[in-house]
Amino acid sequence: MKVSGLLSAEFAKLAASKTILFSVIAALLVPVVYGGVLLSATWGPYDNLSNLPVAVVNDDNGAISNGQPINVGDELVKNLKEGNALGWKFVSSAQALKGMEKNDYYMVIQIPEDFSQRVTTVLDPDPKKLKIEYIQNEGLNFLASQVTKTATERIREQLANTITEQYTATVFSGLQDASGGIGKASEGSAKLADGTTQLREGTAKLNESVSGKKGDIAKLADGASRLKDGTGQLASTLATKQNDITKLADGTKQLKDGTGQLLEKLNGSASNVSRLADGSMQLHDGAVRLKDGTSQVLAGLQKAQAGSKELRDGVNERLVPGSRKVADGTGKLKAGSAKLAAGAEKLVAGLEQYRKVNPTVEVGPYYQQIVDGAKEISAGLDSMSVKSVALNEGAVKVADGAEENLAPGTAALYNGLSQLAAGQAKVHQGASKLETGAGQIADGNAKVNDGWNALISGVTRLDSGAAKISDGNAAVDDGWKKLSAGASKIDNGMGQVSSGTSSVNDGWKKLSAGTEKLNDGAGKVNDGSQKLSTGLQSGAEKMGGLSPHEKNIKMFSSPVELEGKKVNGYEHYRDSTAPYVLSLGIFVGILVLSLFMNFNKPPFASPISWFAVKFLTLGTLAILQAILMLIVAFVILGVQVSNPAALIMFTFVASLTFAAIVLFLASFGGNIGRFIALAFIVMQLSITGANLPVEMLPENLRALSGFLPFTYSIAGFRSVLTLNDLGGAFANMGILGVYLTAFALLSLAVFIVKSKAHHGDFKKREEVSQ
């Protein structure tokens, strides 16, 4: 029998029974009802977010920022109340926890007590981030949990913009305040530049003065060294002559004792003339010797008198005034070196303070050399000041010793020697007379009495002169001891003077080198301060020109604004689900239609005819229900479609593909096959791109989705509904064609196998009947 006849008979059977007919009609409307219900609503999943109850707990205690109270938690609550992003419920912490236990809230957002306080730490060295705690009840609904989490991100972004805006306003305010400070700093740096100019001039003069005195200081050191040698020789000479002076004093004392004894004897022997005659010759000889001795003593005393006069004049006219000048000079040296040391220390402190106050200023490579040089100058001047104290003390001791001890001693020595010389002259004169008298005694006794009286008179004067000589020599001895002690002190003092002046000379050389470095450094400081003044003035002018408005602050707090465009967008949420709904509706509708089809083999029909009739019947009904669903979805409901012709073509191919799959399963396994078809539908719901893109699936499910027809039907419907991608539509249509061909051949194989089995059963029944 022909396929057309069998097809007509098949439809006639469906129409013959009203029950079957109404069932088929109901089955045809399954995709229509299914698609009509799911595609009729124009709402979106985010249209009614205000119905999602979310608890908000505000525990923020507020804070003080720049003298002004702030409460970021209250501001956030105020903003949330003004919007309807979610169903906000403003409750206490206890109420929120209780509501979460009862599953009354999808999420709880808690603003902590120190929320505003943390805002005030933005500019601190260790700022504390703001924390918003939230608890999600994900078990109520996973999609709702994602929506609420997105809402928390928006809250975080809003808070970040608000805090950044406050921070930016504070920074700009600080910059404006800093502008005034920089302006004052610029004025100060200008004064600093003037000061450094004067400093440069002063250091130049200081360098010139110090360098010019290097020769004088060297001469002073050399002269002090020579003076030390001279005082050493003086002290040594005085010390070696001390014994001679002592012997002279002892000799003059013995002379005084001898003249006293002589006078006593003369007075006692005045009446003994005879004995005078006998001793006259002895007396004459003694008188001659006395005359010669007194002549020698007189010459020595005259020389000593001249030497003591020169010594007295040297001490009074040279040593005492010279040592006083040395003392005055070392005192001035001490004061000057102390002032220079204090100035150098102030210079070091000023340079270091300038570096601390201006850490960002480029000081150059010679800055540290200036500081080090100033420190060396300060140390050298301190050392010179300390040593000048010793030099001053030595000079004062020299002057005091010379004035208190040496000068009086030399004066006393000169006076004593003068008296001694005068007495000695008289002694010499008396000795001459004694010689004359002794000669006259030899001439006659007549003159004895007169001569004896003259002798007594001369001896008396001799005794007086000897006493004076003894006293003068004793004074000379005492003065000489004091002179020796003073010379030793002078020598010690001059040792200290020589050492001090040597140190002064070394320190002066270092001072000279340091002043040269100081002068160079002062020049560089002057140049740097000029540049600093110019830079600060320019910076103050630029910062003073900053006058940000509210728009500028908002720009800094939120500089990026997203501006996006959609391509192939969905007009309604239902348009995004249409590919999945159409695929599922067609497959389910065909599966329901198969329930009302009889897959028994018609009499006298070949396996191919049997297959063709069943396939055409199910395919025709599938095309019919697809047309009804397209009319409802796209004509009545107005679902978005980018290419209607391609949509109709693709829908027919998908319907025939699903019809071939259902035909194979139903003809192969009957109701069991239909159950397998139902399970096949369920398996494809989540891994064929309906809810999640196939690319987001795990690797094993992604590989499995490549073998499922829903993957290509959903992708093909999406190509013709929203993407207007004919290439994609035809590609997916080609893959569905492969499924159509494969399952049609499998169905044909089933019908061939069943036809052979049916023919064998028919022969057995005929044989039994015969």
Please name the helix (run of DSSP H) or strand (run of DSSP E) that holds residue 65, with its range, or none. Answer: strand 63-65
CA atoms within 13 A on the CB side of 185: 21
490, two tokens: 């002078």
CA dist 99 and 86 (Å) reads: 16
Q: What is the per-residue pLDDT across 505-545, written as a single tens digit (0 to 9) for each?
A: 777 677 777 777 777 776 776 677 667 667 666 666 665 55
The whole-number pLDDT of residue 601 equals: 63
pLDDT at 203 over 60: yes
CA atoms within 13 A on the CB side of 257: 6
Q: Which fold has domain 49-175?
A: abc type-2 transporter like fold (3.40.1710)
CA atoms within 13 A on the CB side of 372: 6
The whole-number pLDDT of residue 573 equals: 63
Beta strands in 204-275 (DSSP E): none
pLDDT at 681 over 80: yes
State the average pLDDT for the chain. 76
DSSP per-residue codes, 292-323:
HHHHHHHHHHHHHHHHHHHHHHHIIIIIHHHH
pLDDT at 459 over 50: yes
The whole-number pLDDT of residue 243 equals: 82
Mean pLDDT over 202-228 rounds to 74
275, two tokens: 């004995």
Q: How confident is the model at residue 735 (pLDDT cuts 50, 70, 90)?
A: very high
Give the pairing of strands 87-90 and 53-58. parallel
CA dist 700 and 198 (Å) reads: 86
CA dist 233 and 228 (Å) reads: 9
On whether the CB atoms of residues 276 and 449 are closer than 8 A, the answer is: no
The whole-number pLDDT of residue 655 equals: 92
Q: How confident is the model at residue 37 (pLDDT cuts 50, 70, 90)?
A: low
pLDDT at 604 over 70: no
Domain boundaries, the chain: 3-44+572-769, 49-175, 239-536
pLDDT at 23 over 60: no
Q: How confident is the model at residue 219 (pLDDT cuts 50, 70, 90)?
A: confident
Q: How confident is the model at residue 770 (pLDDT cuts 50, 70, 90)?
A: very low
On whether the CB atoms of residues 94 and 191 are closer than 8 A, the answer is: no
The whole-number pLDDT of residue 49 equals: 66
13, two tokens: 């059977």
Determine the residue type at 551.
K
**Residue 658 CA: distances (Å) to CA of 662, 691, 718:** 6, 21, 18
The whole-number pLDDT of residue 559 equals: 56
The whole-number pLDDT of residue 746 equals: 93
pLDDT higher for 393 or 185?
Answer: 393
- The whole-angstrom distance between residue 488's C-alpha and the CA centroid of its chain comes to 64
User: What percentage of the chain reaches a pLDDT higher than 70?
Assistant: 75
pLDDT higher for 415 or 740?
Answer: 740
On whether the CB atoms of residues 133 and 90 are closer than 8 A, the answer is: no
pLDDT higher for 192 or 29?
Answer: 192
CA dist 582 and 641 (Å) reads: 13
The whole-number pLDDT of residue 738 equals: 95
Question: In terms of CATH architecture, what is 239-536?
Answer: Up-down Bundle (1.20)
**Residue 233 CA: distances (Å) to CA of 228, 239, 240, 312, 407:** 9, 10, 10, 18, 19
The whole-number pLDDT of residue 768 equals: 46
On whether the CB atoms of residues 419 and 474 are closer than 8 A, the answer is: no
Q: At what angle do helices 709-718 and 644-669 cross, to 10 degrees?
A: 160
Most confident stretch, 154-158, 180-184, 288-292, 601-605? 288-292
pLDDT at 689 over 90: no
CA dist 659 and 286 (Å) reads: 183
Length of the chain: 770
Q: If DSSP codes are grouped into helix, strand and coil, which group holds residue 70?
A: strand
Tell me how far apart the 2 most distant CA atoms of the chain are, in Å.
235
DSSP per-residue codes, 728-750:
HHHHHHHHHHHHHHHHHHHHHHH
pLDDT at 371 over 80: no
CB atoms within 10 A of CB 337: 24
Determine the residue type at 634.
F
- Determine which of 307-316, 353-362, 406-415, 649-658 has the lowest per-residue pLDDT on average: 353-362
Mean pLDDT over 212-236 rounds to 75
pLDDT at 643 over 80: yes
Mean pLDDT over 146-150 rounds to 72
pLDDT at 331 over 90: no
The pTM assigned to this predicted structure is 0.46
Q: How confident is the model at residue 574 (pLDDT cuts 50, 70, 90)?
A: low
